[in-house]
Each structure stands twice: as C-alpha cells, then as structure tokens.
A and B are shown apart, each in its own frame.
Chain A
Amino acid sequence: MCGVNGIFAYHSASGPPSEVELIATRDAMRARGPDGAGGWWSGDRRCGLGHRRLSILDLSDRASQPMISDDGRLVVVFNGEIYNYPALRRELEAGGVRFRTTSDTEVLLHLYACHGAEMVHRLRGMFAFAIWEETRRGLFLARDPYGIKPLYTANDGWTFRFASQVKALLAGGAVSRDPEPAGVVGFHLFGSVPEPFTLYREIRSLPAGHTQWVDAAGPREPKPFANLAGILAAGARNPAPASELNMRVRTAVLDSVGAHLLADVEVGAFLSAGMDSGALLGLMRDAGQREIRAITLAFDEFDGTDEDEAPLAARIAERYGAQHIVRRVSEGEFRDDLPAILEAMDQPSIDGVNTWFTAKAAKEAGLKVAISGLGGDELLAGYPSFVDVPRWYRHFGPLALVPGLGRLTRSLIEAIAPAQARARPKMLGLLEYAGTWPGAYLLRRGLFLPHELDQIMDPDLAREGLRRLKPLRRLATSIAPDPGSDTGRVCALESAHYLRNQLLRDADWAGMAHSIEIRAPLVDITLLRSLAPVIGGLVAGTGKAALANAPTVPLPAEIMSRAKTGFGVPTAAWMNAIAGAAGLTVGNLPETKGLASRQWSRVAFAGRPIEPRELRAA
C-alpha cells in the first residue's frame, strides 16, 4: 500500500501548480506510506507527481517513486501490487527489455512503453497508478477491475489533480468543498459513498476497471476495460458441471493465494472463525509458506461464550501450524480510538471498525502485509442476499409491477400500524422495489430507502441527490450484460456495490491508517474468470463448502457447521451505544442491527460524535 498524487495544469490559462500543494496532498497520506516520500516535476513544471511509499517489493532506494523510465519519457506513481509481475517480467525480458529493479512498479513502465493503454489487460492485482507520458504530454490513469485500490480525481476546468484519498486532495487546499448531493444521498442509501461520487462535487473516484487520459484537451471520460458482469456472463455461456466445483475452487483459489504471497516482507493473515479466512490460511500452507502469523480479534463481552471466535480460530491456527495472535479489544479502547477512526475514514462509512482493530493488531505484531478473507461471500454466494434477492424478486416482483400499489400499501401501513412501520422500514418497500433486480438488491442492502430520505435530510437535497445518483439505473449497469443466473446477478451486484464501495473502501482506510496492506485473494479477476463457469450453479452453502475443503488438510468440521450461524461482533452495539449516549434508544426488534447502523451513519457522516440535540433535530 502506498499513496499517490499529482497535479497537472493542462489548460493554457492555468498557472504552474504549487510545490506546497503537491507536498501537502502527498503528506496528508503519510500513514499510507511511512517508508519514504518522493516528488517529480515535468521539465516545464506543468505536471507534478508525488508518492509516499510502503516498501513491500524491492525494499531498496532504486525502487522508490516516482519512477522514471531510462529514456525519461515515462514517469509512474503506483499504489498496489501486480501479482503476475514475475511472469510479465520474464516475458518482457525475453523481448529484450532490461530491468534495473526487482519492483513491480518498473514492469508498469515497460508494459506501457510496449502496449500503451492496452497494458491494463495484462495486469493481475490491485492497482491505482498514473503514468506521465512526456511525448504526448498527458497523464494516463488506471484502477483495478474490482476497485481494491482507490483513486480520486478533481478537475476544476484548468487543472487536474489526483490522489489516493479524498481528504488528501482537500488537504492541498485548492479543491472545492462544494457538496455533491449524489454522494450524500448515496451514503444514506447504502451506508457508504457509491463511486464515482464523493461527498464533494469536484472530487470523483476513477471507477473500478477504468482508465482515463488527460492532456491539453482536458480529462477524457473514463473508459472501462473490465466488467465483472461480463466475466460472469461469459462463464454462464460455458457452464461447468457441478462435479467440477470442488476441483475448480481448490485449483483457482490456491493459485490466487500463491499469487498474493508475492512480497519481500512477511505476509501474515487475518483469521476469524469463519470459513473464508480459515481456508485461506490452509491454502497459504499449501502454497508453501511455512511461518505464518495469524491475527484474531476477541472481545471482552464474549469471553467464555460461544460467540467468542478466538477458541475456534485457535483450532484453525493449530491445524495449519500458524502462530496465533489473539488481540483483545474492549469498548473502552473503541471509545478511545473513535476520534482517530473517524479521522482515518476517508469517506463516511457505517463499517470498518473491525478492520481498524485487526490492522492495528497486525501493526503491533510488526506486520506490513496481511491476507484477508474479504470477498468470499460475494464470490461464493455466502450472503443471505443470494437467497433473499431472487426470492423477493420472484414473490413480490409481479405485485411490485402494478403501478401505484407499492406506494399505496406503504401509506396504508404507515397510517394503520405506524409502530410496525418504524420498526421495519424496509418491509414497507417490498412492493415498491422488488419488481426489478436492482430494486430487490437495494431493498436488501439499503440503509435507508429513497422514500425515507426526506426524514433525514433536506427534501430538495434528497431529490437532487437521487436525480444525480440514479441509484436503480446505476445498480442495473452492474448486471449488464446479464450474468445469466440468479447467483451470478447477486454476485455482480454485491461485488460491484457492497464489496467495492463498502468493504474494500473500509479495508483501505482502516488498513492504511496502520500502514497495513490488506490483500484479498478472493477478490481477484483471474479467480473470477476461473470460477465464473460454476458460479451460476452454486446453491446455498455449496460454494463455501468447496472453499472449506480446498486446503489439502480441510477445515475442521466444527468450523464448517458453526460458521453457518455466524458470530456476534460487539462493534455494532458499541456504535449503537455511541448513538444511544447521544439520546437515542433502539428497540429489541430483529432489525436492531440495521437501525443501529442508521444511527451510526449519523456519527460517521458528521465525522465526529454528535450531540443529542443534533440527532433529535433531524
């Protein structure tokens, strides 16, 4: 993990960018890259690039960035890891290219020199980078297909800026803080800010799987180069028999884990008592790593109860011969860390607190890199949404297509049973939203539903935000082309929204805050291509079972049965307590967790603990 930034005064009317701004933006990302900092200016000083380094591959100074090609024509700043770097290097060397470092950064320079923008198709990994091309006097930007690494841009019409973080762009002092209603509304709908929007009109995310070119004619519209739905659709056209599931999962996940172990520093693991992280630990052994340190969070609240993950995680660690580190976290520590958590949160999020503490523990253990089970539920149909969304779509969809029926029913229930309506706000939306896949998904994942926004924000802001965000149309684009199966559709929706905008962003800011690079072998485009032919055929539990059985030594059977019911995580209650302390109480209804998230969202949005009267005023 590193931090990248740049300023390009592309317009003739623009003055040369300021060194002070370049450094202010770069050094706002100090935690992303504590091992070094670099800067570079083009000869005419119209373009400046900055980099903060967390050294993981080739720890020497020759691999520091910005890195300039031998002929001086290309300059790169790069955040991420290219896992197929050794193969790419061999191929380039066979073609006569000479390398001067052993870093994956250098491969980007040579690949771009050989293939231009098409080079992105060759990359396996997580990446966000910018390459200055001296001959064409332009900037080329790219971001990985899943959107693991962040890249934000700002264009005021004269000058183009980019950075790994929204807050870093703001720290430069030259970017407008005018609000973006689509970002504000998106956060309240989903609990995270959906790309390409941010909370600020001028700052956009370069969408995942896109490239962008900027030259004197201004930034061009981002161009897609990878599409998760397209990969799933291709898989559905050539389905593999269910009998191949276990073999395919084992081969492909082992391959991905092996690729994700590429590092010149120790690679550790985040270990819960769930199947994903446990299986990955087993596959790390299979991939040949002998010494593994695995980190598990434990909470005082659950000490001695069967909600405590630590004992089961210890069994997994023991089975795979890993050194197990159990890190205890108390509510007091959460309260102490809260201001730092809110500060580190680049954009507001209703989650990420667990990752914060896991990364904190990894840092305390002296790690820089850790493997995470992130993405397993999206890839292998582990979430309840894989059951709920198709079911709602089929059961309630036909009724939802009757014009006006959904709204009428909602109004009736609100009038007749207001308490029920308040306690189960989403149930009210069933007949309104379940008629389409995007609607049914919004219903499943939504924090608030569109019709509720007027209650929590200025109605004009809500209307304008919805108009700009177009949430249902945006969701619909993530299942085009049609992934060809119910599981494929939910996989695409979950991967392109919840995973991308929530989980991966949380992993980035929470990991980054502790200078920990989180690697997710289950979030990998090569893996998705390998498994796409079997994803359509997954039924409840089969995908995760295949993963649990993937290591040569399978996960203990008790893990597989226990993991199905899940474990308690007290952070939701802590967040609730913060909101509760602010004068709100939450009932004991089944949706308590959802309602707590709603209140926590107010804290995250404000970026600080908020006063009771502020909450009541809303």
Chain B
Amino acid sequence: MMSDAPDILALVSDAFGGRGGIAQYNRDLLGALADARPNGTKVQSITVLPRHAPDQAIPPAGIQQLPPHPGRLAYALMALAVALSRRADLIFCGHLHMAPLAALIARLKGADLVIQTHGIEAWPPPPRLQRMALEAADLVLCVSRFTRARVLDWAAIAPERVLVLPNTVAEAFTPGGAASLRAQLGLEGKHVLLTVGRMDSRERYKGQDRVIAALPRLVAKGYDVVYVVAGDGDDVDRLQRLAADTGVAERVRFIGPIAPERLVEFYRLADLFVMPSTEEGFGIAFLEAMASGVPALGLNVAGARDALADSELGIAVAEPDFAAALSQALEKPKPAGHALATAVRARFGREHFALGAERALHRLLANVA
C-alpha cells in the first residue's frame, strides 16, 4: 500500500555519475520525481542503487545514491538487503534486465512496481522471467510509441498501464552562432551535415554509411558539402574506408567524441543534423539538434518517428526516400532556429517531462485511494 508521500527505491544500471542516454534519462526521471508534488505532498525519499557510476556526481536534494555494485549477484544481494532494511512503497526498475529482481522485491515489500523501457532491449520478446515481471508491473514507462507497441506485442498487460514518457532535452541546448567554430574547422561557406552517435561494429544502425553513400549525389548537384561525424567506436575504420571507396574521403570529417558541455556548439555548427538510424529507442540527438536550432532528418522507423514528431518537427522519411530527402533538405534555406527550438520545447521540454513523471506517480497514488 503506497502512502501519500512514498519512499522510492530505484534499481538502475546507472544514473548519477553514469554516462550515456540511459543514465541521463534516469537522472532526469529521478530528479523529476524528487520535485514532484502529485498530491500536494512531496516524495518522502528516493534511494538509488546503481550497478555502475564511473564518474563522481552528487545527486540533487532528496535523492540518495548508494555505492555501485557492478557484479550481478552482489547487486542482487545488495538490492535485497537495502529493500529489507528500509521502507519502500515504490520500486523503480530502470532496465528490463533487472525486472525480475525488481518484481521480487516489489512483491516482498508489497510495493508498487514501475519498469522503464528504452529501446532495443524491449523490442524482441524477452526471456520468460523478464516478461512475467513486466506483466506484474503497475506501470511501464516507454520512451517512445514504438517501444510501447513492441512491449504490448509480447506482454499480456493492460495497455493503459503502459505509458510513453519521452526523453527530454537539457536546457543547455539552445540556438546560437557558430562562426568561430566553423572558422576553426575551416567550414566557412560549406553545407555542413552532422551526425552525433556511437559507431559500434556490432550495432551499425545509426546510418552514417547511408549518409556517406548519398554524398556523391549532393556533390554532383553542386553542393559544397562536408559531413561531420562525431562520436567514437570500433566501426570508425570501416566508415573511413567507405568514405574513401565512395570518393568522398576529403568531405567526411571524423572528429571523435565531443565532451557533453561542448555538444551544443557542434550542433549549432551544422546546417542539417542527419541520422538515418533504424533502431533508435527514441533518438535524443534529434531533440538536442533541433533545440539548438538545427533542422533534423531521419527515418520514420522505430523511435525516431517520435523525436521527429511524425515530421512535424524534423523530417522523417522512409528508407528508400532518404537520399532524395537529404538533397531536398539542403535546397531549403535553414529555418529560423528559435522557432524550431521553441516548438521542440513545447513538446519535449523539461516541464512537460516533469509533469509526465508527476502524473505517472499520481496515477499510482490515485489507485490506492
């Protein structure tokens, strides 16, 4: 039975001091829950148990993060020990892989269970225990409509319990000038395309190779185009060879990973953010680019449809139409960045994210009443 001011135990892969999109989402969500006033009263406590926390970080007020336990068994034992030693009305499970453990703890504590799903981990039917754990959840949060649809494909759970709480975009991403960085990189007067994303040889879904393959056509049309590829990973060599084989090696710049605080400058640098990815759970980079005032182009596949808002914010096209859409996008003058940024925040701004988290919490509280 959940009290009006619940105590929350969050089992997560990583949150504060973690790297990557899932850690960011967990920080956003836990922060929003700490600030939430679903019934006019505040959440009593939030205890976070991460498996990883490579960086030093101090959680905001109201959130206590315990030391990480990377080993699976050690983590499970620690989670049980923590759960049994304190009040917990709500178990938040940050990853489907941890759902069986979270479901067990929720059962032992008589607590509500909320499971977060992101992307590819939740698309194919999971092992039986994970499926059963998810089917026992009081709420399931999905980052996109696509992930929600896939979850409902394999889970026998009331569809009303499965909500979309999309990624939000950090305040740091705003429109602005990029003249000095352009000059520094020698990009003045060029049409700059940008992709930000990992290049992992096992995944290969971000679609940098699709962009490289489309470059000769743009050059032939007379565009003085440069493709800036940000990020690292073990697939960079292959992409470099591809650029060379395609005859556009001098037009593709692999600039490596970018520190998070410098990302906004690189987004602003671009004329078009382009990521013809096929397996985005959501595609936060689209939001970051558009919040930085840069138009975005992707495929109308999986979660990218959501980040591009069915082509109402960005451009989402079918895969066969990608090259043509890229060419068309360059023909158009770059739109007013501030209008785009405002439109992005009207749908995915932090206040909407916070409201979404608060409403989800309120639904659980209302079930008790």
A interface list, Cβ under 8 A from B: 11-15, 155-158, 176, 178, 182, 201-202, 204, 216-222, 467-468, 470
Contact = CB atoms under 8 A, between A and B. Distances in A.
A12 B347 contact: yes
Contacts of B355: 12, 216
Given A156-B149, A202-B149, A217 B159 contact: no
A11 B152 CA distance: 19
Contact of B156 (A204, A216, A221, A467): A467
B312 A220 contact: no
A15 B312 contact: yes
B166 A13 contact: yes
Contacts of A219: 159-160
B309 A13 contact: yes
Contacts of A470: 156
21 contacts: A11-B164, A11-B356, A12-B352, A13-B164, A13-B166, A13-B347, A13-B348, A13-B352, A14-B347, A15-B309, A155-B160, A156-B148, A158-B306, A201-B149, A204-B159, A217-B163, A217-B359, A218-B359, A219-B159, A220-B363, A221-B161
B347 A218 contact: no
A548 B236 CA distance: 84
B145 interface: yes
B280 to A, nearest CB: 15
A157 B162 contact: yes
- 4 closest Cβ pairs, A-B complex: A157-B164, A217-B359, A12-B352, A157-B145
A21 to B, nearest CB: 12
Interface string B152-188: 1100101111111010000000000000000000000
Contacts of A158: 145, 164, 306
A178 B149 contact: yes
B69 interface: no
B235 interface: no
Contacts of B310: 15
Contact of B363 (A12, A204, A217): A217
Interface in B122-161: 142, 144-145, 148-149, 152-153, 156, 158-161
A218 B312 contact: no
A158 B310 CA distance: 12
A11 B142 CA distance: 13
Contacts of B338: none
B341 to A, nearest CB: 16
A157 B153 contact: no
A457 to B, nearest CB: 17
A219 B306 CA distance: 19
A218 B163 contact: yes
Question: Quick one: which of A157, A202, A221 has the most chain B CB within 10 A?
Answer: A157
Nearest to B142: A157
A118 to B, nearest CB: 16
B291 to A, nearest CB: 14
A45 to B, nearest CB: 14
Interface of B: 142, 144-145, 148-149, 152-153, 156, 158-164, 166, 306, 309-310, 312, 346-348, 352, 355-356, 359-360, 362-363
Given A156-B145, A217-B363, 11 more contacts: A13-B164, A13-B166, A13-B306, A13-B347, A13-B352, A15-B310, A15-B312, A155-B159, A156-B149, A217-B362, A218-B160
Contacts of B356: 11-12
A449 to B, nearest CB: 21
Nearest to A212: B160
Contacts of A216: 355, 359
Contacts of B152: 201-202
B115 to A, nearest CB: 15
A15 B148 CA distance: 18
A15 B142 CA distance: 18
B306 to A, nearest CB: 7
Given A13-B306, A13-B347, A13-B352, A178 B160 contact: no
A218 B348 CA distance: 16
B155 to A, nearest CB: 9
Contacts of B346: 12
Contacts of A218: 160, 163, 359, 363
Nearest to A469: B156
Contacts of B348: 12-13
A468 B356 CA distance: 29
Contact of B160 (A12, A156, A182, A220): A220
B218 to A, nearest CB: 30
A157 B151 CA distance: 12
Contacts of A11: 164, 356
Nearest to B347: A13
A466 to B, nearest CB: 11
Contacts of A155: 159-160
A158 B363 CA distance: 17
Contacts of A204: 159
Contacts of B360: 217
Contacts of A178: 149, 153
A15 B355 CA distance: 17
B160 A157 contact: no
A221 B156 CA distance: 14
Contacts of A220: 160, 363
A220 to B, nearest CB: 6
A512 to B, nearest CB: 26
Contacts of B352: 12-13
A553 to B, nearest CB: 52
Nearest to B348: A13
A157 B356 CA distance: 12
A157 B309 contact: no
A201 B359 contact: no
A201 B153 contact: yes
A220 B347 CA distance: 22
Nearest to A216: B359
Contacts of A15: 309-310, 312
A157 B148 contact: yes
A467 B131 CA distance: 12
A220 B352 CA distance: 19
A217 B359 CA distance: 5
A202 B158 CA distance: 11
A219 B359 CA distance: 12
A218 B312 CA distance: 22
A559 to B, nearest CB: 48
A202 B312 CA distance: 23
B178 to A, nearest CB: 28
A14 B149 CA distance: 16
Nearest to B356: A12
A13 B351 CA distance: 12
A523 B162 CA distance: 35
Contacts of A468: 156
Question: Quick one: which of A13, A220, A468, A470 has the most chain B CB within 10 A?
Answer: A13
Question: Quick one: which of B160, B161, B356, B362 has the most chain A CB within 10 A?
Answer: B160
A202 B359 CA distance: 23
B151 to A, nearest CB: 10
A595 B145 CA distance: 42
A176 B363 contact: no
A73 to B, nearest CB: 22
Nearest to A153: B159
Contacts of A12: 346-348, 352, 355-356
A95 B153 CA distance: 50
A202 B148 CA distance: 11
Contacts of B160: 155, 218-222
